[in-house]
C-alpha cells in the first residue's frame, strides 16, 4: 500500500507537463526536423540533500556538464527549472532556455547558476500543458531529473493518463535521482504513460548513465526475452479491507511485484495494493474497500518497461464488520482507517502490538462514535515510532466488557527523513532547512550542539506542520560545530530520524566613530557587519560585559550602514559595541572605545522679572535633542514639574520663559537630555517681583 508520502513523490514527475503550460508555440519552433528536447531540472530545496557527502544539485551540475557531449548538436535542446527562485511558491516554474540547436553549452552554464530554494510546483498547469502539447506539430521529448519530493500535490498518474488519452505527441523520460525502489516505482508512471523510459539513479554515475541513454533522439530499447510466471491467490474470497496471502512463481526480479487491480485493468501503474516479490513468499496484499471483481497480477520490470506475466481472477466479498486500512505505514505517520461495525458509544479503533489480546494499553486509538449524521465511518491513527508488525482492531464497548470484533495486521515501516541544508552557516544567521519525512503533527526540526542526544533543550526549532517542505532555524551566536535533526514525535515518544552536521562560522563587524564626544550629544556611528535579525549597536560603560542594560542603542536593520547613539550625561570612558543576536543569545562581535567629555552651558537674563510677565533668556550649550531651559522654585531638585520651559532646538540662542504669579526666589536651569537621564548643566538665580 502506498503511503501518502509516496503519493506525493509521484506527482513531482508531472513537471514534464507543467513546464509546458507556460510556453507558447513559438518555443517549439526549430530549424531541424529532428524534434526537440527539453531538460527539466528539479531545483527545489530538497536538491540540497546529500548523496555520499555531496549535494544532489552539485552532482547534477557536474554530471550534466560531463555528459553534454553526448547530445546531438543538430537537435534543439532547452532547459526548464522549478523551485529555484522563491520559497513556498507553487508557481515558481521558469523556462530558462527555449529549445535551440547547438545550445547544450548554454544549458550547462545555466544549470551551474541554479540554486535550489523552494517548492515543487506541479499542481495546476498540467491540463493546460496537455492542451499546449496537443497543439504542436513536432514531437517533443522531455528529460526530467527529479529527486522525488513533491509539495504542491495531485495525482501524477492520473495526469499522465490524461496526457495519453488526449493523444499528445510527447515523450517523457524520467530519471529518479536518489530515490529508493518504492519511490521509483511510483514515479515511473509518467514515463510509462507517455512511452518514455524510467531510470533509477542512485548516484552521479547512475545519473550519467541514464542521461547518456536518453540523450539520443529515440533511445534504442534493449532486446529482451519475456519470462513466464504463475499466481496462487487465497483459497477463500477475501473480505473487504482484509489482508490475504499470495504465492507465485516467476523471474523474481528486483523490481517485480504482485498487485491487485480492477478486472480488465491494463495499466502497469495505479494499482490498488501490491507486494514486492523481493520481500519473499507468501506476499501479503490488502483487499480493496469495495466488494466486487478484481485481478491479481505478476508484474515484471523488464529492461525497457513493465510486463504483466500472469493474472488471476479475485472476488472480494462484503462484510458487516470490517476495517479498511493501509497494509503499511511509515513510523509516526498519520493514516486513515475506514470501519464498519456497530458504531456504539464507547466503541473505538486501536493499534496494538501484533497478537495482543488485552483491551487496554493500546499504542493509539480513536473513538468511532458519530457526532452527527454527516460523520463518516473513518478515524485517524498515528503509527508508533518503532518498525514492526502491529494489529488494528475494532473494540466494542458491551455491557459485559470490551470485545474485539475484528483485527487487521499492519506493517509499520522504519520512518525515513532527509534534511538539506548548506554545511556552512554564518553565526547568528537565519538559514533554510529543506526536509522530507513523516510530517506528523508534532514532528520538528531542531538545532543542537554536535554530539547532543536529548530530544529537548534544542537551540532553535520549527514544527514541520507549520513549515511544509522547508523552514528556518537561527544559528547560534557562538561559532562551532552543530547538528540539524529531524525529530519524529510518534504515538509512543520521540526519535531522531536523521541529522546533518553544520559548521557555524564566525562573523566580523567594524565600527567607525569619533574618539571623543560631549555628554548628551548624538554620536554618529558607521557600521559594517552581519546585519542579522535583532542585531544592534549599543553604548555601555567601559568594561561592561552584559548584553543588556545598555545606555543607548539602535537596531542595524533600522539604520543601514549608519546610526546615532545618545551619549550619557556623565563624563568618562565608554564603549560602543556591535551586538549580534543568535539562537543561544547575544554576543559582542566588535567594540570601540570612546571618551565622553563634560559639557558646559551659559544662561543670561535679567536679575529681576515682574510676576506673570514673559522674559527672554539667552543661552549657549550642547543643544542636544530634548535639551531645554526651565524655571523652577529655588531649591527644586527634580528635572520635571517645571513652571515654564522652552526647548533649545526650538529657540536657537534665546528663548522666552514666563514668570510665575507669585513673587519670590527662583532658578533658571539648562537641562541636558542624556542617554542615562537628565542633567542640570547650569542654574542661576532669578527674583520674581511684584510690579
- When pLDDT is averaged across residues 204-231 and rounded to a whole number, the result is 84
Q: Are both 343 and 408 inside the same structural domain?
A: yes
**What would the pLDDT profile of 347-399 be if each residue is shown by its tens digit?**
999 999 999 999 988 999 999 976 444 445 889 999 999 999 999 999 998 87
Q: Are both 72 and 176 inside the same structural domain?
A: yes
- End of a domain among 377, 392, 413? 413
In percent, the amount of the chain with pLDDT more than 70 equals: 88
pLDDT at position 497 is 93
- End of a domain among 597, 615, 648? 597
Q: Are both 116 and 26 inside the same structural domain?
A: yes
Lowest mean pLDDT among 30-39, 227-236, 268-277, 665-674: 30-39
More confident residue, 32 or 175: 175
pLDDT at position 76 is 80
Q: Are both 500 and 514 inside the same structural domain?
A: no
- When pLDDT is averaged across residues 177-195 and rounded to a whole number, the result is 81
pLDDT at position 27 is 42
**219 occurs within a structural domain:** no
Q: Tell whether the model's pLDDT for residue 28 goes beyond 60.
A: no
pLDDT at position 689 is 96
**225 occurs within a structural domain:** no
Query: In 638-676, at which residue ranges do the beta strands (DSSP E only) sit?
Result: 644-647, 654-658, 664-674
**367 occurs within a structural domain:** yes
Is 342 in contact with 396 (CB distance < 8 Å)? yes
Element (H, E) at 489: strand 480-490
More confident residue, 444 or 198: 444
**297 occurs within a structural domain:** yes
Query: Which band of pLDDT confidence, cut at 50, 70 and 90, is reported for residue 475?
Result: very high
pLDDT at position 440 is 86
Q: Tell whether the model's pLDDT for residue 613 goes beyond 60.
A: yes
Mind giving me the DSSP string for 314-351?
EEEB--SSEEE--SEEETT-EEEEEEES---TT-EEEE
CB atoms < 10 A from the CB of 607, how many? 9
More confident residue, 470 or 672: 672
- Cα distances (angstroms) measured from residue 160 to each of 12, 14, 190: 12, 7, 5
User: How many angstroms separate the CA atoms of 636 and 6, rounded?
Assistant: 79
User: How many angstroms separate the CA atoms of 466 and 448, rounded?
Assistant: 20
pLDDT at position 663 is 95
**224 occurs within a structural domain:** no
**666 occurs within a structural domain:** yes
Domain carrying residue 534: 510-597
- When pLDDT is averaged across residues 551-569 and rounded to a whole number, the result is 95
Lowest mean pLDDT among 14-18, 39-43, 330-334: 14-18
Provide the CATH number for the domain around residue 458.
Answer: 2.60.40.2840
- When pLDDT is averaged across residues 60-78 and rounded to a whole number, the result is 87
- When pLDDT is averaged across residues 173-180 and rounded to a whole number, the result is 86
Q: Are both 434 and 368 inside the same structural domain?
A: no
Query: Which band of pLDDT confidence, cut at 50, 70 and 90, is reported for residue 221?
Result: low
pLDDT at position 122 is 53
Provide the CATH number for the domain around residue 286.
Answer: 2.60.40
CA dihedral 175, 181, 187, 189 (to 10 degrees): 110
- When pLDDT is averaged across residues 198-220 and rounded to a whole number, the result is 84
R_g of the chain computed on alpha carbons: 37
pLDDT at position 4 is 35
- When pLDDT is averaged across residues 658-677 and rounded to a whole number, the result is 96
**220 occurs within a structural domain:** no
Q: Are both 187 and 241 inside the same structural domain?
A: no
User: How many angstroms separate the CA atoms of 202 and 207, rounded?
Assistant: 7
User: How many angstroms separate the CA atoms of 511 and 579, rounded?
Assistant: 11
User: How many angstroms separate the CA atoms of 123 and 328, rounded?
Assistant: 27
Q: Are both 206 and 95 inside the same structural domain?
A: yes
Domain count, the chain: 6
- End of a domain among 214, 247, 270? 214
Is 284 in contact with 276 (CB distance < 8 Å)? no
- When pLDDT is averaged across residues 248-257 and rounded to a whole number, the result is 93
Query: Which band of pLDDT confidence, cut at 50, 70 and 90, is reported for residue 661?
Result: very high
Q: Are both 257 and 237 inside the same structural domain?
A: yes
pLDDT at position 167 is 66
**49 occurs within a structural domain:** yes
Question: Which of 39, 16, 35 has the alpha carbon at shortest distance from 218?
Answer: 35
- Average pLDDT taken over every residue of the chain: 86
Q: Is 25 left (phi over 0), alpha (psi -120 to 50) or beta?
A: alpha
Query: Which band of pLDDT confidence, cut at 50, 70 and 90, is reported for residue 335?
Result: very high
CA dihedral 96, 98, 103, 109 (to 10 degrees): 0
**What would the pLDDT profile of 442-464 be if each residue is shown by its tens digit?**
999 999 999 999 999 999 999 99
pLDDT at position 468 is 80
**What would the pLDDT profile of 34-50 be if each residue is shown by its tens digit?**
567 888 888 888 888 88
More confident residue, 298 or 361: 298
pLDDT at position 138 is 62
- Whether omega for the bond prior to residue 100 falls within 30 degrees of 0, making it cis, is no
Element (H, E) at 609: strand 608-610
Query: Which band of pLDDT confidence, cut at 50, 70 and 90, is reported for residue 18?
Result: very low
Question: Which of 629, 618, 608 has the alpha carbon at shortest distance from 681?
Answer: 629
User: How many angstroms separate the CA atoms of 200 and 44, rounded?
Assistant: 19
Q: Are both 33 and 143 inside the same structural domain?
A: yes
Q: Are both 42 and 163 inside the same structural domain?
A: yes
- When pLDDT is averaged across residues 326-343 and rounded to a whole number, the result is 90
Q: Are both 150 and 45 inside the same structural domain?
A: yes
- When pLDDT is averaged across residues 20-24 and rounded to a whole number, the result is 37
**What would the pLDDT profile of 404-435 be if each residue is shown by its tens digit?**
999 999 999 998 888 888 889 999 999 989 88
User: How many angstroms separate the CA atoms of 438 and 497, rounded?
Assistant: 10
Provide the CATH number for the domain around residue 592.
Answer: 2.60.40.10
Query: Which band of pLDDT confidence, cut at 50, 70 and 90, is reported for residue 7?
Result: very low
Provide the CATH number for the domain around residue 209.
Answer: 3.40.50.410
Q: Are both 591 and 606 inside the same structural domain?
A: no
Query: Which band of pLDDT confidence, cut at 50, 70 and 90, is reported for residue 150?
Result: low
**What would the pLDDT profile of 516-557 be if each residue is shown by its tens digit?**
999 999 999 999 999 999 999 999 999 999 999 999 999 999
Amino acid at each position: 500500500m502506498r503511503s501518502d508520502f509516496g503519493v506525493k513523490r509521484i506527482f513531482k514527475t508531472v513537471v514534464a507537463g507543467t513546464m509546458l503550460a507556460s510556453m507558447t508555440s513559438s518555443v517549439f519552433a526549430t530549424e531541424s526536423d529532428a524534434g526537440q528536447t527539453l531538460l527539466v531540472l528539479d531545483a527545489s530545496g530538497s536538491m540540497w540533500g546529500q548523496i555520499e557527502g555531496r549535494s544532489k544539485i552539485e552532482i547534477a551540475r557536474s554530471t550534466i556538464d560531463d555528459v553534454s557531449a553526448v547530445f546531438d548538436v543538430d537537435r534543439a535542446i532547452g532547459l526548464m527549472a522549478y523551485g529555484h527562485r522563491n520559497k513556498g511558491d507553487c508557481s515558481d516554474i521558469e523556462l530558462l532556455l527555449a529549445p535551440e540547436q547547438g545550445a547544450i553549452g548554454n544549458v550547462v552554464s545555466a544549470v551551474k547558476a541554479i540554486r535550489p530554494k523552494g517548492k515543487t510546483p506541479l499542481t495546476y498547469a498540467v491540463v493546460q500543458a496537455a492542451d499546449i502539447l496537443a497543439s504542436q506539430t513536432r514531437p517533443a521529448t522531455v528529460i526530467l531529473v527529479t529527486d522525488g519530493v513533491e509539495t504542491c500535490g495531485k495525482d501524477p498518474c492520473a495526469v499522465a493518463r490524461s496526457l495519453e488519452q488526449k493523444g499528445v505527441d510527447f515523450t517523457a523520460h524520467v530519471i529518479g535521482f536518489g530515490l529508493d525502489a518504492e519511490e521509483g516505482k511510483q514515479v515511473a508512471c509518467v514515463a510509462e504513460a507517455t512511452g518514455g523510459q524510467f531510470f533509477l539513479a542512485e548516484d552521479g554515475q547512475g545519473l550519467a548513465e541514464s542521461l547518456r541513454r536518453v540523450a539520443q533522439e529515440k533511445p534504442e530499447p534493449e532486446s529482451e526475452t519475456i519470462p513466464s510466471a504463475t499466481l496462487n491467490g487465497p483459497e477463500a474470497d477475501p473480505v473487504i479491507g482484509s489482508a490475504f496471502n499470495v504465492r507465485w512463481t516467476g523471474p523474481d526480479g528486483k523490481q517485480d511485484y504482485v498487485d491487485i487491480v480492477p478486472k480488465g485493468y491494463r495499466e502497469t501503474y495505479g494499482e490498488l495494493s501490491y507486494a514486492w516479490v523481493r520481500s519473499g513468499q507468501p506476499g501479503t496484499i490488502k483487499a480493496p474497500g469495495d466488494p466486487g471483481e478484481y485481478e491479481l497480477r505478476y508484474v515484471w520490470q523488464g529492461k525497457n518497461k513493465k510486463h504483466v506475466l500472469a493474472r488471476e481472477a479475485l472476488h472480494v466479498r462484503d462484510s458487516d464488520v470490517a476495517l479498511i486500512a493501509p497494509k503499511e505505514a511509515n513510523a509516526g505517520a498519520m493514516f486513515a482507517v475506514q470501519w464498519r461495525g456497530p458504531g456504539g458509544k464507547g466503541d473505538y479503533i486501536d493499534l496494538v502490538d501484533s497478537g495482543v489480546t488485552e483491551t487496554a494499553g493500546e499504542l493509539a486509538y480513536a473513538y468511532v462514535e458519530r457526532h452527527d449524521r454527516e460523520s463518516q465511518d473513518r478515524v485517524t491513527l498515528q503509527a508508533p515510532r518503532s518498525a514492526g508488525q502491529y494489529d488494528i482492531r475494532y473494540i466494542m464497548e458491551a455491557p459485559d466488557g470490551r470485545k474485539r470484533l475484528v483485527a487487521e495486521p499492519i506493517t509499520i515501516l522504519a520512518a525515513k527523513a532527509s534534511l538539506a541544508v548548506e554545511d556552512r552557516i554564518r553565526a547568528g544567521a537565519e538559514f533554510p532547512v529543506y526536509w522530507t519525512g513523516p510530517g506528523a503533527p508534532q514532528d520538528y526540526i531542531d538545532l543542537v550542539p554536535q554530539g547532543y542526544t536529548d530530544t529537548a533543550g534544542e537551540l532553535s526549532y520549527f514544527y514541520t506542520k507549520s513549515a511544509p517542505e522547508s523552514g528556518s532555524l537561527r544559528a547560534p551566536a557562538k561559532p562551532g560545530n552543530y547538528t540539524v535533526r529531524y525529530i519524529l514525535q510518534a504515538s509512543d515518544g520521540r526519535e531522531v530520524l536523521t541529522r546533518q552536521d553544520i559548521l557555524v562560522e564566525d562573523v566580523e563587524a567594524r565600527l567607525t566613530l569619533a574618539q571623543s564626544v560631549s555628554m548628551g550629544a548624538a554620536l554618529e556611528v558607521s557600521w559594517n557587519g552581519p546585519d542579522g535579525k535583532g542585531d544592534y549597536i549599543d553604548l555601555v560603560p567601559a568594561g561592561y560585559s552584559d548584553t543588556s542594560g545598555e545606555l543607548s542603542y539602535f537596531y542595524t536593520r533600522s539604520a543601514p550602514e549608519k546610526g546615532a547613539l545618545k551619549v550619557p550625561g556623565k563624563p568618562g570612558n565608554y564603549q560602543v559595541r556591535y551586538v549580534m543576536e543568535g539562537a543561544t543569545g547575544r554576543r559582542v562581535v566588535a567594540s570601540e572605545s570612546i571618551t565622553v567629555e563634560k559639557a558646559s552651558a551659559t544662561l543670561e537674563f535679567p536679575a529681576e522679572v515682574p510676576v506673570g510677565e514673559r522674559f527672554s533668556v539667552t543661552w549657549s550649550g550642547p543643544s542636544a535633542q530634548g535639551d531645554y531651559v526651565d524655571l523652577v522654585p529655588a531649591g527644586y531638585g527634580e528635572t520635571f514639574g517645571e513652571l515654564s520651559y522652552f526647548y533649545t532646538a526650538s529657540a536657537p540662542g534665546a528663548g522666552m520663559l514666563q514668570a510665575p504669579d507669585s513673587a519670590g526666589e527662583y532658578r533658571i536651569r539648562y537641562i541636558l537630555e542624556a542617554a542615562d537621564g537628565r542633567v542640570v548643566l547650569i542654574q542661576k538665580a532669578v527674583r520674581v517681583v511684584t510690579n
